[in-house]
Amino acid sequence: MERPYLQRRYLLSFDSRDIGHIFTDVLVIGAGAAGLRAALAAAENAQVLVLTKGDLEQSNTCYAQGGIAAVMDEADSIEAHVADTISCAAGLGDEEVIRRVVGEATQTIAEMIEWGLPADREGDRVALGREGAHSANRIVHAHGDATGKYLLEMLIDRAKAHENIKIFENCFVVDLITDEADGAVVGAITFHARYGLQMIWAKQTILAAGGAGMLWRETSNPSCSTADAVAIAFRSGAELAEMEMMQFHPTTLYVAGATRALISEAVRGEGAHLIDREGNRFMGKYHEDGELAPRDVVSRAIVAQTEKTGSTHVFLDVRHIGAERVKRRFPQICRLCADFDIDIGNDLIPVRPAAHYMIGGVKADADGRTSLGGLWACGEAACTGLHGANRLASNSLLETLVAGKACGRLAADAAGEANTRLTARRIISSNPHSDRTALDLSDIRNSLRSIMWRNAGIVRTGPRLAETKEIIGFWGSYVMDKEFFDPAGWEVQNMLTASLLVVECAFRRAETRGVHYRKDFPETDPAWARRQILRRTEQQLVVM
């Protein structure tokens, strides 16, 4: 891996003596479902500080539509949910983690409903939807397709009301700080527009800073998903896993000028058809489950069909379902389409795939333990093995809640141990000064996202990945040697770092598995039925 990406332990030069200090028992980085659930669990026994780089509504959680997977029906079973998850994970799933998360789903939903999640109901029972690759109806949703928003609002209200939780919005974590003696994480260096740089010292730190969709030009993720979590963890020396595994969602709205808003899988679960520009329903030719095939299959089928028909997109057809039913079940999607004059009762919805869920991340066990002392990771920032090489729809919100609760509790326990002292250490970071020219950051950001979409997207090849490594390496030589003094610059540096890791791992994995499709190696190779784990040293990238 190119040296500019390895050399810097911290993005900034600083002397901790010159910066203001804050102390907390447990520091939680990220205020999506994972961070807030972790904070609420930790706050039972500790003082907790939650940081978010934007305002509280800026997270992937806020956009989640489909729902939360859980076995809630006698006709369904934990074994069936486990089997569906293992089958989707394409040989890389960790069965112990899968059994643990799936096994806790029902009680997790019960707890969320007790806390105030307004889950949709059918008569006296919780209504259950269906999504691709699930063998039963098991998707719990709130206000139709607004599940994430209502879950988040409920967690925010609860966290704000908790006397042991403080929340700092608009507080950007630049780097984790580590103890020079044993490498354990002892907090973070942060930047706040009003208060500037701050050293936040914590007995235990939970990284829940979300995903990486913004690395690709087309994405369903909001603009905050710039892969900060993996880049920050990488610089601190933590192990990462499965960085090549990005799940692409088959159906995001494709209208020039619109953000690539998701058209949930649940729409296909309700019976929507995918048709090409010639009006042909095509999924049956690609998979026996048709529109409900796994996401990677549907995404690749759409790419193949658009190439065949010379089009940029395909269409979702919900006309036969009935406008009333679709409006009731998917009010947000209907509103979104209406904003672009698409009347779902009469018109087709133009869609194409986009980067959606980062399966890879900071290597963690089911409780969120990472390879570094004092550091826990949960939610989309973490890679526990639940999803393996492919994520089963609606298992991710479930994981944020199960893993968030577990690591919050354990982090608070660890913070309470008698030998865990909270002290400020002197840390000096001194990066060489670069005199090179000023940069157009948005140009680099856009160029990076374009090349990642073209060469490290749904269909990948060795030569294209090798070329991309070289180009990102070159950009790094004049971006990574600089110091920026605002989040826009740090985000670009994080995006470049994370992209290079994605490309490196995608290049090394010379096979096709789950979401990782190599046109030059289209078969799954049993020799590759293993995780790719990596970490940084100053000299080299260590891949295990």
The CA distance from 199 to 386, in Å, is 34
Distance CA 434, CA 34 (A): 38
Q: Which is nearer to ligand FAD, 148 or 388 (CB)?
A: 148
Q: Residue 137 gets which letter from DSSP?
A: -
Q: Residues 47, 65, 205, 497: which binds ligand FAD (CB under 6 A)? A: 65
- Binding of ligand FAD at residue 31 (CB under 6 A)? yes
Q: What does the alpha-carbon distance between residue 367 and residue 38 come to, in Å, rounded to a whole number?
A: 11
Taking phi first (over 0 means left), then psi (-120 to 50 degrees means alpha), and beta for anything else, what does residue 334 get? alpha
Does 351 bind ligand FAD (CB under 6 A)? Our answer is: no
| DSSP string covering 432-459 | PP--PPP--HHHHHHHHHHHHHHHSSSS
Residue 330 binds to ligand FAD (criterion: CB under 6 A):
no
Tell which one of 24, 47, 60, 512 touches ligand FAD (CB under 6 A). Answer: 60
How far apart CA 491 and CA 31 sit, in angstroms, is 18
Indicate the residue among 141 and 536 with the shorter CB distance to ligand FAD: 141
Strands (E), 9-101: 14-15, 20-29, 48-51, 68-69
Of 9, 8, 7, 41, nearest to 26 (Cα)? 41
Q: Compute the least distance from the CB of residue 403 to ligand FAD, in Å.
A: 9
Q: Which of 24, 47, 305, 396 binds ligand FAD (CB under 6 A)?
A: 396
Stretch that binds ligand FAD, among 330-338, 395-403, 423-431, 534-542 (CB under 6 A): 395-403
The verdict on 262 binding ligand FAD (CB under 6 A) reads yes
Among this protein's residues, is 295 annotated catalytic? Answer: yes
Residues 189-228 that bind ligand FAD (CB under 6 A): 208-211, 220-221, 224-225, 228
User: Binding ligand FAD by CB under 6 A: which of 236, 400, 455, 532?
Assistant: 400
Q: Which member of 8, 295, 449, 518 is catalytic?
A: 295
* φ, ψ dihedrals at 350, nearest 5°: -70, 130
Q: Is 392 in the site for ligand FAD (CB under 6 A)?
A: no
| CA nearest to 1, candidates 367, 535, 457 | 535
Could you give the CA distance from residue 300 to residue 283 in angstroms, rounded to a whole number? 10
Residue 457 in the binding site for ligand FAD (CB under 6 A): no
394 scored as a contact of ligand FAD (CB under 6 A): yes
CB of 280 vs ligand FAD, minimal distance in Å: 28
Binding mask 142-161 for ligand FAD (x = CB under 6 A): -----xx-------------
Percent helix, percent strand, percent coil in the chain, to nearest 5 = 35, 20, 40
What x-and-dash track marks residues 79-108 binding ligand FAD by CB under 6 A?
Answer: ------------------------------
One-character DSSP codes across 260-319: --B--HHHHHTTPEEE-TTS-B-GGGT-TTGGGS-HHHHHHHHHHHHHHHT-S-EEEE-T
Instruction: Give the binding site for ligand FAD (CB under 6 A).
Output: 29-35, 51-54, 58-61, 63-68, 147-148, 172-173, 208-211, 220-221, 224-225, 228, 262, 357, 379-381, 394, 396-397, 400
Active site members:
295
